[in-house]
Amino acid sequence: MLDIFDRLKGMEGPLEQYRRKAEGYFMFPELEGEIGPRMKFHGREYITWSLNNYLGLANHPEVRKADADAAAQWGMAYPMGARMMSGQTKYHRELEQRLAAFEKKESAYLLNYGYQGMVSIIDSLCTRNDVIVYDSESHACIMDGIFLHKAKGGKSFVFPHNDMERADKMLKFATKHAEENNGGILVITEGVFGMSGDLGYLPGIVDLKNKYNFRLMIDDAHGFGTMGESGAGASEHFGLMDEVDIYFATFAKSMAGIGAFVASDKPIVDSLKYNMRSQIFAKSLPMPMVIGALKRLDILQNQPEHKENLWKIAKALQEGLVAGGFNIGNTQSPVTPVYFSGSVPEGTNIVIDLRENHNVFCSIVVYPVVPKGVLMLRLIPTASHTLQDVNETIEVFKKIKVNLEAGKYISDEMRSMAQQ
């Protein structure tokens, strides 16, 4: 018999294996100062491209005032308890009604945290007789929900990213299994894929509804506020708001806060309210975040200049990188990946050069998030960035490209940058 602690001490996962050399620098870095396009790291100012503050609302004066006023009036504790027991308020209901109307759904339900909310939604929607069909690049919260579904004896089928031919084939298998077990089918994809920046191919999936009987849920964490004419997300962008049966988004990106919501037909939302264990047995979203979210939604709906500026910055950054010979994949959103070929030590040397010599802070993504041999630098433009930030960054990347092609970053071993 093995002691669990002994096993954990001797086992390092795909990310933890880098802990001794990466903690405090590549992983768990401590950015300081006001949230914005320029922040401090280890006492120096950097152009920062690592924050999902898409609309720049984190330090918007109206948002800061609403947050501060709500905290002063209500404190962080109110309301105490879960929504079902003692955590319900008229402001929670008001926010839900406004979010539902914005997404053109009958009803919406607030969630105290996006990740666990998604896990719990999947758990509440699907019985062991139901089948889940999902995109291979779905977020970890979706995967954990599917793992829970499979632990209950449920079945799932995965299709390669945005591959509609394979999605068709998986739906054929799913239909056979559902018919044999008197179950239904739930298809899950994302509105905007947060790493690659491309969109879930909603038109293709919706077309498959003409052939198969299923319900469609999208995780639009990165699309809410950034995509669509009004900012209502990827479903609005494609003109398919009615065809998306369940819409999920978080407040952690464009809304610069915490929490999430799910929107759908009223009977479905009612069912979720009374069956989602992560909400029934957990504290209600604190009042300052609810009041703050109402203000953020006001700004999102009535100040389109923030989304317009976000896209101005995103297009300038992406066009500049492409013109410089960089591979940014198939992004169709503000998310801007820059792909390289190389080893993990090579990738970390690039990041060290960016930070130590050029004062540019962005995140590196390695296997298992991307395939082995692929490196990705992930840049997140925001409405707060300026064209000067963009131009400076592109010039830095041109220098990085020269060094990369000259083999200056090649190394057999990852350099330790861990902070003691």
Domain ranges for the chain? 13-54+304-405, 61-302
* DSSP for residue 128: T
Residue 120 CB contacts under 8 Å (≥ 6 apart), including other chains: 111, 145, 276, 277, 278, 279
β-sheet with 44-48: strand ranges across: 31-32, 38-41, 44-48, 360-361
Task: Output the DSSP codes for 338-375.
Answer: EEEES-HHHHHHHHHHHHHHH-EE-EEE-TTTS-TTEE
Cβ pair 134, 190 in contact under 8 A: no
So what's the pLDDT on residue 420? Answer: 61
- ω into residue 79 within 30 of 0, thus cis? yes
Confidence (pTM)? 0.96
Q: Reduced to 3 states, what is the DSSP secondary structure of residue 135?
A: strand
61-302 carries CATH number 3.20.20.70: no
Enter the tokens of residue 16. Answer: 């933890």
Q: Packing angle between helix 387-405 and helix 344-358, nearest 10 degrees? A: 130
Measured in whole angstroms, the distance separating CA 243 from the mean position of its chain's CA atoms is 22
Superfamily of segment(s) 13-54+304-405: Aspartate Aminotransferase, domain 1 (3.90.1150.10)
In Å, what is the CA distance from 322 to each residue of 229, 363, 367, 393, 398?
25, 19, 24, 13, 11
Query: Amino acid identity, residue 120?
Result: S
Phi, psi of 378 (to 5 degrees): -110, 115
pLDDT in tens, 264-302: 999 999 999 999 999 999 999 999 999 999 999 999 999
So what's the pLDDT on residue 241? Answer: 98
Question: How far, in Å, CA of 134 to CA of 136, rounded?
Answer: 6
pLDDT in tens, 220-274: 999 999 999 999 999 999 999 999 999 999 999 999 999 999 999 999 999 999 9
Cβ pair 415, 69 in contact under 8 A: no
Residue 227 CB contacts under 8 Å (≥ 6 apart), including other chains: 191, 192, 199, 220, 233, 234, 236, 237, 333
Low-confidence ranges of the chain (pLDDT < 50): none
Residue 385 CB contacts under 8 Å (≥ 6 apart), including other chains: 37, 313
Q: Same fold for the domain at 13-54+304-405 and the one at 61-302?
A: no
